[in-house]
């Protein structure tokens, strides 16, 4: 086919969490520019399976439409590759050139241990959410939406924060492996809405404590997280997380 490309991949291969990993070279030929980055990996894996010499490369993916957050790949030094505001499944090979060498690594963080190859264990995020990223709603009939007035600005900001898909690119991009952007997105979403208000103090205190327990680093405000976030979660959320946290420590009975 004309216009197709040959790509040189260097992919991190690692049998399991305990073994040593290394970068392995693969040549993928006849790549269509319209393929997604994951589809290129499908082509490569098909070949590896049919050759039977090498195990297929393990990588996470699910929706392939930019909403589940599973497709964690650290591509040429950046999470989700070179483009702004997209996940790996939304990255297309037309963003690369024929003959390019592309280095693909897993997310790197003590809190995200490698399971195999490019797949990492992100359950630390689940435990952070379980520690407070929810509202407790008693069962019963749904109340009339209009009886809960929410300023439009707050609704918009909460909605923007709620767009976080828990992909972990923020952690992967941050030189400190800090999870501040992720935590701040959830804390902000709920702090901005009346439904989140009753638990706001315990929520922020517990989520920060869990974040620290999981071994994520401390934020130095480099801004790499927001720059690489596929949902473009804003740094103002991190400022709000700081405010919420210090307000809860200084102004509530809890600690």
Please give the residue ranges that form the binding site for ligand FES (CB under 6 A).
61-64, 66-71, 87-89
Q: Which stretch binds other proteins (CB under 8 A): 43-51, 70-78, 139-147, 153-161?
A: 70-78
Query: Quick check: 239 binds ligand HEM (CB under 6 A)?
Result: no
Out of 220, 239, 252, 254, the residue judged to bind ligand HEM by CB under 6 A: 220
Q: Whose Cβ is closer to ligand SF4: residue 114's or residue 160's?
A: 160
The H or E element spanning position 29 is strand 22-31
Out of 6, 154, 213, 221, the residue judged to bind ligand HEM by CB under 6 A: 221
Out of 88, 178, 189, 206, the residue judged to bind other proteins by CB under 8 A: 178
Out of 23, 155, 218, 239, the residue judged to bind ligand HEM by CB under 6 A: 218
Report how far Cα 124 is from the mean position of its chain's Cα atoms.
12
Q: Whose Cβ is closer to other proteins: residue 138's or residue 255's?
A: 255
DSSP string, 165-208: ----HHHHHSTT---HHHHHHHHHHHHTSGGGGGGHHHHHHHHH
Q: Whose Cβ is closer to other proteins: residue 22's or residue 53's?
A: 22
Backbone angles phi, psi at 64, to 5 degrees: 55, 25
Out of 69, 93, 105, 230, the residue judged to bind other proteins by CB under 8 A: 105
DSSP label of 42: H
CA–CA gap between residue 99 and residue 96 (Å, rounded): 9
* Residues 180/240, Cβ–Cβ less than 8 Å: no
DSSP string, 202-245: HHHHHHHHHHHHTT--------HHHHH-TT---THHHHHHHHHH
Query: Quick check: 111 binds other proteins (CB under 8 A)?
Result: yes
CA–CA gap between residue 37 and residue 93 (Å, rounded): 6
Q: Which does 166 bind (CB under 5 to 8 A by kind): ligand FES, other proteins, ligand SF4, none?
A: ligand SF4
The H or E element spanning position 116 is strand 114-116
Query: Quick check: 220 binds other proteins (CB under 8 A)?
Result: yes
Strand partners for 8: 27, 101
- Interacting positions 48-77 with ligand SF4 (CB under 6 A): 69
CA–CA gap between residue 38 and residue 173 (Å, rounded): 20
Q: Whose Cβ is closer to ligand HEM: residue 6's or residue 220's?
A: 220
Q: Whose Cβ is closer to ligand SF4: residue 4's or residue 242's?
A: 242
Q: Which stretch binds ligand SF4 (CB under 6 A): 47-55, 131-139, 145-153, 230-238?
A: 230-238
Residues of this chain that bind ligand HEM (CB under 6 A)? 218, 220-221
Residues of this chain that bind ligand SF4 (CB under 6 A)? 69, 164-170, 181-182, 185, 229-231, 233
């Amino acid at each position: 086919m004309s216009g197709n490309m040959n790509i040189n991949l260097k992919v991190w291969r690692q049998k399991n969490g305990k073994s040593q990993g290394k970068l392995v070279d693969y040549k993928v030929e006849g790549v269509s520019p319209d393929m997604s980055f994951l589809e290129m990996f499908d082509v490569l894996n098909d070949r590896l399976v049919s050759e039977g010499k090498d195990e297929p490369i393990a990588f996470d993916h699910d929706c392939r439409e930019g909403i589940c957050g599973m497709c964690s790949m650290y591509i040429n030094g950046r999470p989700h590759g070179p483009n702004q505001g997209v996940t790996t499944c939304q990255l297309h090979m037309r963003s690369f050139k024929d003959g390019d060498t592309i280095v693909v690594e897993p997310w790197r963080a003590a809190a995200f241990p490698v399971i195999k190859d490019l797949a990492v264990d992100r359950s630390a995020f689940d435990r952070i959410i379980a520690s407070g990223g929810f509202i407790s709603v008693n069962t019963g009939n749904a109340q009339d939406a209009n009886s809960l007035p929410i300023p439009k600005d707050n609704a918009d900001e909460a909605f923007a924060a709620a767009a976080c898909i828990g992909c972990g690119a923020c952690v992967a991009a941050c030189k400190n492996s800090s999870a501040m952007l992720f935590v701040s997105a959830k804390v902000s979403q709920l702090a901005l809405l009346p439904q989140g208000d009753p638990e706001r103090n315990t929520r922020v205190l517990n989520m920060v404590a869990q974040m620290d327990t999981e071994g994520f680093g401390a934020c130095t405000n480099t801004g790499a997280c927001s720059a690489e976030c596929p949902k473009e979660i804003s740094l103002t959320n991190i400022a709000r997380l700081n405010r919420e946290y210090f307000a809860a420590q200084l102004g509530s009975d809890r600690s």
